């Protein structure tokens, strides 16, 4: 059914259609509307049977999900930013225990300085946690990915993180097609784990493993993720047949046929990138887009194949590996190693900085004429940076950078144009 | 509801031979019904109070729940000595997640059982004092506050024994640990710090809070059974001496635990909805010195000359407990 709803509402309805049995909620912007909507459904009795638990922290949220999932209940939670970091220990534990929890991450920056707006630093910080990480481009895809996530996770016995851009998607009202309960029931069988906490069949879960077997355990976790790479395209295809939409899968290619320059990105920024590419194509520029839907496991071969023809590659990413540069681009380079392609990193949109078509066009043009540096920061205010650096050269100082810079900016609202 | 201690003074000790009791009041542990929830063959140290406490507590909980029990376990000695992969001593469904989240994991299990209509299955969470009073405190307080249907059992050996005897917020004043060294002007742990978890649990006004020691195992079993008769958040705090960390002989675990109670340093009581409902009175009051002297963690108090002032401060703590909980028989005051 077509609906004009907020992204968070769309996700909440998708999760509800998946018949979750335990939902744990802890408030952090910008994911709050999702669990609020689910909580209301549980309280009204329209989502039943389901336990909605208001916990005291994100660490507890993931831990309650761990207990519920280990006891064979379908468990869901949502978080963002600091919340994801606060639960990090339990996040690793959930994948280590093979519990197919589904969690929405409404992507948001990490402090300090505290910032509630969108970038991908939160999800990227957990890229090696053993979860499957899927990135939604649109609200429709966010909705669809949640349905796929339960299926994926439960078949592979792995937790799945569905990442959607905070505010840009979670708070945007868009038209989405919400499937029927019958459609979702047909696609998603009930959760029946091979092993669970049950007095009828006692098992010990979470034993201590020493050097004699730990390597093998970790290797098998890797193998399981590699198997996910093989299975995800098939499940996306099955989803397409059942729901009539292309959603999920490993990658999305856009106008890549004869592209000289391919821009790699993930999340909602792909929309802006595609608009930019359309405009440049009209002027005869051979440019295309590679959207990464499945970031973990990393689709090594698929990315390599998708980029094979490109002479230039620009990776546009909303996170920064401080002291290195790009995280996604480092992954892309592993896929293109041995090729003579230049992979350039453009860090953009940190802490919610708008990514505009004008800036993207300028950047892509620079890439094509060979003047784009290996690592650039889109729309960085060099004046502010230089003044801060000059002050530091004058007087060595410790402490935070933010307050130092805010002095130069004056009234922040007056600056946003 | 409170367990009535049976006085068999003719044995010359405080022990109660089960053969002298009618079958219906014998301990679960002495019957063939016992489930050996924590089976033999684990790697606990000789004289481990925690292994003893856990065995009695879990078998009593199994009996009370008619074997419909799931346990969540914090990281710590109990977890490490019971599940060295690929072996396990647990004959009940058991999960270990991480150090600080045991109460929340138990909440998740209880929620799963509720949503599946299996309310006959009961959930126990257990951990040491570190996993309860320090790193696990946030999740524990949340579980209490929501009144989730979980019994949390803390096996308190008053320090982080698994990592090599470091101070926790349950470590008593003056005790030597690896991080409260027995050196300097005020050796050992300082006075005026630490958490009283049973009292904090009571402040949550949960339906049931109790303390117990491994010296009175009938009482311990009775309290576990009492807790299992109730729904909602419940807390039992069991003092479990640690021969390694406390520095006493491994055969003295029971004796030391009894002295903790008989000196008044560890009050044994039950509480319901924030109010103390019963107290195990001291039977033969002992000076704190009797408890402190056999333990190497207090050895710095008994040098030449002994630190009488510090011992007096410990005695004052015991006396305050005796006043606060009414630990003496009325006629002996």
Instruction: For residue range A32-80, list pLDDT tens digits in order.
Output: 999 999 999 999 999 999 999 999 999 999 999 999 999 999 999 999 9
How far apart, in whole angstroms, are the C-alpha atoms of residue A133 and residue A128? 10
pLDDT band at B222 (very low <50, low <70, confident <90, very high): very high
The CATH 3.40.50.970 portion of chain A extends over 2-243
A-chain residues near B98 (CB < 8 A): 63, 89-90, 93
Query: Minimum mean pLDDT among A127-136, B26-35, B130-139, B270-279: which range?
Result: B26-35
Query: Minimum mean pLDDT among A234-243, A296-305, A393-402, A405-414: which range?
Result: A405-414
How far apart, in whole angstroms, are the C-alpha atoms of residue A78 and residue A106? 8
Q: Are strands B269-272 and B208-213 parallel, antiparallel or unpaired?
A: antiparallel
Is residue A212 over pLDDT 90? Answer: yes
Considering only CB atoms, B107 lies closest to which of A21, A53, A90, namely: A53
A-chain residues near B73 (CB < 8 A): 206
Is residue A209 over pLDDT 70? Answer: yes
- The domain made up of A251-377 has a fold known as Rossmann fold (3.40.50)
Q: Residue A67 CB: number of other CB atoms within 10 A?
A: 33
Query: Minimum mean pLDDT among A233-237, A408-412, B60-64, B271-275: which range?
Result: A408-412
Of all residues in chain A, what percent are helix, strand and coil, respectively (each to 5)? Answer: 45, 20, 40
Instruction: Look over chain A and give the mean of its residue pLDDT values, rounded to a whole number.
Output: 95
What is the per-residue pLDDT for A397?
Answer: 72
- Both structure tokens of A163: 């990442």
- Homologous superfamily (CATH) for A2-243: Thiamin diphosphate (ThDP)-binding fold, Pyr/PP domains (3.40.50.970)
Instruction: Look over chain B and give the mean of its residue pLDDT values, rounded to a whole number.
Output: 94
* Average of per-residue pLDDT across A122-130: 98
Chain A residues contacting B via beta carbons under 8 Å: 21-22, 24, 49-51, 53-57, 59-60, 62-73, 75, 89-90, 93, 97, 197-199, 201-210, 213
Q: Residue B23 CB: number of other CB atoms within 10 A?
A: 8
The CATH 3.40.50.920 portion of chain A extends over 251-377
CA-closest candidate to residue A172, choices A137, A135, A139, A134: A139
Q: For B141, which residue in chain A has the nearest alpha carbon?
A: A56
pLDDT band at B99 (very low <50, low <70, confident <90, very high): very high
Is residue B5 over pLDDT 90? Answer: no
CA-closest candidate to residue B272, choices B201, B200, B208: B208
Considering only CB atoms, A89 lies closest to which of B84, B98, B115, namely: B98
Q: Determine whether the interchain pair A213/B86 forms a contact, defined as Cβ–Cβ distance below 8 Å.
A: yes
CA of residue A52 relative to chain centroid, distance: 24
Quick one: CA torsion of A335, A337, A342, A344, rounded to 10 degrees?
50
Q: For A49, which residue in chain B has the nearest alpha carbon?
A: B115
Q: Are strands A75-79 and A312-317 parallel, antiparallel or unpaired?
A: unpaired
When scoring A23, A42, A47, A207 by the number of chain B Cβ atoms within 10 A, the one with the most, hence best to mutate, is A207
B-chain residues near A64 (CB < 8 A): 104-105, 107-108, 111
DSSP, residue by residue, A218-245: HHHHHHHHHHHHHHHHHHHHHHHHHHSS
What is the per-residue pLDDT for B32?
Answer: 83
A188-199 pLDDT, tens per residue? 999 999 999 999
Q: Determine whether the interchain pair A63/B105 forms a contact, defined as Cβ–Cβ distance below 8 Å.
A: yes
A-chain residues near B116 (CB < 8 A): 21, 49, 72-73
Contacts of B316 (CB under 8 A, 6+ apart): none
Q: Residue A417 CB: number of other CB atoms within 10 A?
A: 4
Considering only CB atoms, A90 lies closest to which of B97, B114, B146, namely: B97
Considering only CB atoms, A53 lies closest to which of B72, B90, B111, namely: B111
A-chain residues near B92 (CB < 8 A): 199, 202
Q: Determine whether the interchain pair B98/A203 forms a contact, defined as Cβ–Cβ distance below 8 Å.
A: no
Q: Determine whether the interchain pair A56/B142 forms a contact, defined as Cβ–Cβ distance below 8 Å.
A: yes
In what side-by-side order are the strands of the sheet with A375-377? A251-254, A287-292, A261-265, A312-317, A342-347, A375-377
What is the per-residue pLDDT for A129?
Answer: 97
CA-closest candidate to residue B173, choices B301, B305, B77, B314: B314
Tell if the pTM clears 0.90, that is, is over it. yes
Read off the DSSP letter of residue B244.
I
**Whether the Cβ atoms of residue A179 and residue A240 lie closer than 8 Å to each other:** no
pLDDT band at A417 (very low <50, low <70, confident <90, very high): very low
DSSP, residue by residue, B122-184: EEEEEEEHIIIIITTHHHHHHHHHHT-S-EEEEEE-SSBTTTTSB--TTPPTT---SSS-S-S
CA-closest candidate to residue A337, choices A368, A367, A313: A313
CA distances from A96 to A91, A193, A206, B107 (A): 9, 15, 9, 20
When scoring A206, A214, A220 by the number of chain B Cβ atoms within 10 A, the one with the most, hence best to mutate, is A206
Contacts of B21 (CB under 8 A, 6+ apart): B6
Q: Determine whether the interchain pair B98/A72 forms a contact, defined as Cβ–Cβ distance below 8 Å.
A: no
pLDDT band at B201 (very low <50, low <70, confident <90, very high): very high
How far apart, in whole angstroms, are the C-alpha atoms of residue A318 and residue A123? 10
A-chain residues near B204 (CB < 8 A): none
Is residue A281 over pLDDT 90? Answer: yes
Q: For A207, which residue in chain B has the nearest alpha carbon?
A: B83
**Whether the Cβ atoms of residue A326 and residue A345 lie closer than 8 Å to each other:** yes
Is residue B9 over pLDDT 90? Answer: no
What is the per-residue pLDDT for A121?
Answer: 98
Q: Determine whether the interchain pair B117/A49 forms a contact, defined as Cβ–Cβ distance below 8 Å.
A: yes
Query: Minimum mean pLDDT among A192-196, B166-170, B272-276: which range?
Result: A192-196
CA-closest candidate to residue A307, choices A339, A284, A269: A339
Contacts of A288 (CB under 8 A, 6+ apart): A253, A254, A255, A256, A257, A259, A261, A262, A263, A277, A310
Q: Determine whether the interchain pair A60/B106 forms a contact, defined as Cβ–Cβ distance below 8 Å.
A: no
Query: Is domain B27-332 given the CATH code 3.40.50.970 in the classification?
Result: yes
A324-360 pLDDT, tens per residue? 999 999 999 999 988 888 899 999 999 999 999 999 9
B131-155 pLDDT, tens per residue? 999 999 999 999 999 999 999 999 9
Considering only CB atoms, B108 lies closest to which of A50, A67, A202, namely: A67
pLDDT band at A405 (very low <50, low <70, confident <90, very high): confident
Terminal Cα distance for chain B, rounded: 25
Considering only CB atoms, B139 lies closest to which of A63, A203, A208, namely: A63
What is the per-residue pLDDT for A403?
Answer: 75
How far apart, in whole angstroms, are the C-alpha atoms of residue A87 and residue A101? 14
Q: Regarding predicted confidence, which is higher, A82 or B85?
A: A82
Q: Determine whether the interchain pair B139/A59 forms a contact, defined as Cβ–Cβ distance below 8 Å.
A: yes
B-chain residues near A204 (CB < 8 A): 83, 88, 90, 93-95
DSSP, residue by residue, A73-119: --EEEEE-HHHHHHTHHHHHHHHHTT---EEEEEE---PSSP--S--
Is residue B267 over pLDDT 50? Answer: yes
ipTM of the complex: 0.95
In terms of Cβ atoms closer than 10 Å to its own Cβ (0-12, 13-18, 19+), residue B18 is: middle
């Amino acid at each position: 059914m077509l609906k004009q709803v907020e992204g968070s509402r769309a996700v909440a309805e998708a999760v509800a259609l998946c018949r979750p049995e335990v939902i744990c909620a802890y408030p952090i912007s910008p994911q709050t509307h999702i669990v609020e909507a689910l909580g209301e459904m549980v309280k009204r009795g329209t989502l039943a049977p389901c336990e909605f638990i208001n916990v005291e922290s994100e660490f507890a949220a993931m831990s309650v999900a761990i207990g519920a999932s280990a006891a064979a209940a379908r468990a869901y939670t949502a978080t963002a930013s600091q919340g994801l970091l606060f639960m990090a220990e339990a996040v690793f534990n959930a994948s280590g225990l093979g519990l197919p929890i589904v969690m929405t991450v409404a992507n948001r920056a990490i402090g300090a300085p505290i910032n509630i707006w969108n970038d991908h630093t939160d999800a990227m910080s957990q890229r090696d946690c053993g979860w499957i990480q899927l990135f939604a481009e649109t609200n429709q895809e966010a909705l669809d990915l949640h349905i796929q996530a339960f299926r994926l996770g439960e078949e592979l016995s792995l937790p799945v993180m569905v990442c959607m851009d905070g505010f840009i998607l979670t708070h945007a009202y868009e038209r989405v097609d919400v499937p029927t309960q019958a459609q979702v029931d047909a696609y998603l069988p009930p959760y029946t784990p091979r092993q669970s906490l049950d007095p009828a069949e006692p098992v010990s879960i979470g034993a201590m493993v020493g050097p004699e077997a730990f390597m093998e355990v970790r290797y098998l976790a890797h193998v399981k993720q590699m198997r996910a790479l093989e299975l995800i395209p098939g499940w996306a295809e099955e989803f397409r047949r059942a729901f009539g939409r292309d959603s999920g899968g490993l990658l999305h290619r856009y106008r890549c046929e004869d592209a000289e320059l391919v821009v790699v990105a993930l999340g909602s920024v792909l929309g802006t990138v595609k608009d930019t590419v359309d405009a440049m194509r009209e002027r005869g520029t051979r440019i295309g887009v590679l959207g990464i839907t499945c970031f973990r496991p990393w689709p090594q071969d698929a990315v390599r194949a998708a980029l094979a023809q490109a002479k230039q590659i620009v990776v546009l990413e909303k996170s920064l590996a401080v002291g290195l540069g790009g995280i996604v681009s480092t992954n892309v380079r592993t896929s293109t190693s041995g090729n003579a392609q230049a992979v350039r990193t453009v860090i953009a949109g940190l802490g919610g900085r708008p990514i505009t078509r004008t800036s993207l066009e300028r950047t892509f043009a620079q890439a094509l004429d060979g003047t784009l540096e290996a690592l650039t920061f889109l729309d960085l205010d060099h004046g502010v940076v230089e003044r801060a650096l000059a002050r530091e050269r004058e007087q060595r100082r410790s402490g935070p950078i933010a307050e130092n810079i805010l002095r130069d900016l004056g009234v922040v609202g007056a600056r946003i144009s | 509801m409170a367990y009535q201690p049976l006085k068999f003074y003719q044995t010359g000790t405080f022990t109660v031979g089960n053969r002298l009791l009618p079958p219906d009041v014998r301990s679960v542990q002495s019957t063939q019904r016992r489930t050996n929830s924590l089976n033999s063959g684990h790697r606990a140290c000789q004289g481990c109070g925690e292994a003893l406490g856990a065995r009695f507590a879990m078998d009593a909980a199994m009996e009370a729940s008619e074997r419909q029990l799931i346990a969540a376990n914090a990281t710590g000695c109990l977890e490490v000595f019971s599940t060295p992969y690929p072996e396990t001593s647990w004959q009940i469904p058991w999960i270990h997640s991480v150090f600080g989240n045991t109460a929340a994991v138990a909440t998740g299990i209880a929620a799963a059982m509720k949503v599946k209509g299996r309310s006959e299955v009961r959930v126990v969470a257990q951990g040491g004092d570190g996993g309860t009073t320090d790193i696990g405190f946030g999740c524990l307080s949340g579980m209490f506050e929501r009144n989730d249907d979980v019994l949390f059992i803390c096996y308190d050996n008053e320090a982080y024994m698994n990592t090599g005897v470091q101070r926790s917020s349950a470590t008593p004043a003056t005790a030597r640990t690896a991080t409260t060294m027995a050196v300097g002007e005020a050796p050992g742990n300082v006075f005026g710090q630490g958490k009283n978890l049973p009292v904090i649990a009571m402040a949550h006004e949960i339906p049931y809070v109790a303390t117990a020691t491994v010296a009175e195992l009938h009482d311990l079993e009775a309290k576990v059974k009492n807790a299992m008769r109730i729904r909602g958040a419940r807390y039992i705090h069991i003092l479990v001496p640690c021969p390694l960390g406390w520095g006493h002989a491994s055969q003295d675990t029971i004796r030391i635990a009894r002295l903790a109670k008989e000196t008044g340093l560890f009050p044994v009581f039950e509480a319901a909805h924030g109010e103390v409902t019963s107290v195990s009175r001291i039977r033969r009051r002992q000076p704190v010195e009797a408890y402190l002297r056999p333990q190497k963690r207090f050895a710095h108090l008994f040098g030449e000359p002994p630190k009488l002032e510090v011992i007096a401060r410990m005695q004052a703590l015991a006396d305050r407990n005796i006043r606060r909980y009414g630990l003496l028989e009325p006629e002996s005051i």
